[in-house]
Structure 1
Amino acid sequence: MQAYEFINNLIPPLKLSDKMGMALSWMEEIRTDVLPLTDQGKFLGLVKEDNIFEINDPETLVGDLLPDNPACWVFSDKHIYDVLRVSAEQNSNIVAVLDRDSNYLGVVTMEDAIAAFADSLSIQSQGSVLILSLNMTEYSLSEISRLIESENTKVLSSFITTDPLDETKIKLTLKLDQPELRHVKATLERFGYRVLDHYQEESGVTSEEDRIGNLLRFLDI
């Protein structure tokens, strides 16, 4: 699940000597509004369609633009989660990938990153999502899993986020393999766990849009 595994080779980098008209043609061809800018193999930032339209001169060189988001990159050996984190921080739909010598390797699109992350968390599997609130000192995934398994249900994956209102608490999001949560919730609550929310998924074919929606619910976004 390292970043370099998900590089999209269909998105070409722009060079300083490229003209803006050509940049717009590439954007239209691959249906994007942003392209990476490189110089001698080094990532400089992102060129956005809106910035090109502001100049409105197809003969102007891309190098005359000040690129956006020069920090929108990750090293190639970083986990796909880091790609999603940088994307959110930089508010960008693509993230550049560099090797440890800071040489440009390509970009990862958010569509590819989300699909990969969803796969890693078993988001596409049928089942349910359960969100618990607990003190950090009380967290024991093995104990929580034992209680859940006592109801013939298995934990497929888990995700922890801190509580923005209380730094001593965490939210634990669990993907379970069974859609029925009534008995699992009752067992957890009987042992003192607080259930914040839950999502019971319907059976059937899951579309890409549904998978992304499931991922955002799993991450409690």
Structure 2
Amino acid sequence: MLNFDYFASNIAHYFMTEITEYITNDFKAIDSQDSISTVQSFFDDLHFSHFPIIEEGIYIGSIASEDLQTFDIEKKVIDYKFTLEGFFARTTTIWLDVLEIFAKNHTNLVPVLDESNAYVGYYEIEDIMKFFHETPFLKEPGSILIVKKSAVEYSMSQITQIIESNNGKLLGVFISDLDAQNVEVTLKLSIGAINEIIQTFRRYDYEIISEHEEDNYINNLKERSDYLEKYLNI
């Protein structure tokens, strides 16, 4: 019998896992009174796309390395305050939301502020991806199953019930594609009879997007197609 509360609590814990241990201060934030020349030299030696700027210890935005090429080297960073980008994460931001900040701002560095808006440090994309690779979704052995259904008809509880009713265990799940008509869900399964799970999804009108050697339905269709082709060529 499906224990959905147990599943939900474990998935919530999975997504809420803290990543604050990856906050770094290897390089101090740039001061708004620093010269553009100094900042250009800083970026020349590093791979950062952006870097945080502070004014009297307060984060005021991030400067983009590409923008620096058009700035007057004799001026100060504060003279270009209007060009700074204001994105940041908080120490309480979950890692999926941090990934979203990276993606939306096309950056490889995200400043981190605490709940009092004090600058704490920054995340680097390599560290966050390392964290992602250590999650059970990627680290643990298992099968990836991608299913698709109408956006108004799919049910996450139904999906987990289908898996667990066939003795499957769910390691992770996320919405991999979504539009006005359909939702695509990617699942990581640790154990279970994958063919039975696939057939059960079909009985509930889910389309199977991923390909599986264990899919007897597809294998039977292929065998019949091969037989028909051979027959027609006689």
Identity of aligned residues (%): 25
Structure 1: gaps spanning 5 or more residues: 201-221
The 8 Å contact of residues 168 and 192 in structure 2, kept in 1 or not, is answered as no
TM-score by length of 2: 0.69
Q: Distance in 2 between matches of 1:62 and 1:148?
A: 55
Q: Distance in 1 between matches of 2:94 and 2:62?
A: 22
- Between 1:41-50 and 1:181-190, the stretch displaced more is 181-190
Distance 1:187 1:111, change over 3 A: same
Q: Which amino acid aligns with 1:104?
A: Y
SS at match of 2:40: helix
Query: Larger RCO: Structure 1 or Structure 2 (Cα < 8 Å, ≥ 6 residues apart)?
Result: 1
Larger radius of gyration: 2
Residue 106 of structure 2 aligns with which residue? 91
Q: Distance in 2 between matches of 1:124 and 1:8?
A: 24
Residue 203 of structure 2 aligns with which residue? 190
Which one has the bigger strand percentage? 1
Instruction: Give 1:121 shift.
Output: 5.0
Distance 1:177 1:7, change over 3 A: same
Structure 2: gaps spanning 5 or more residues: 1-16, 214-234
Q: Distance in 2 between matches of 1:47 and 1:40?
A: 16
TM-score by length of 1: 0.72
| 4+ aligned runs moved over 4 Å, structure 1 | 135-143, 149-152, 178-183
Residue 111 of structure 1 aligns with which residue? 126
Residue 24 of structure 2 aligns with which residue? 8
Residue 170 of structure 1 aligns with which residue? 183
Q: Distance in 2 between matches of 1:198 and 1:71?
A: 43
Residue 205 of structure 1 aligns with which residue? none
Q: Give the RMSD, CA atoms, in angstroms.
A: 3.0
Residue 123 of structure 1 aligns with which residue? 138
The 8 Å contact of residues 126 and 179 in structure 1, kept in 2 or not, is answered as no
Which one has the bigger helix percentage? 2
Number of matched pairs:
197
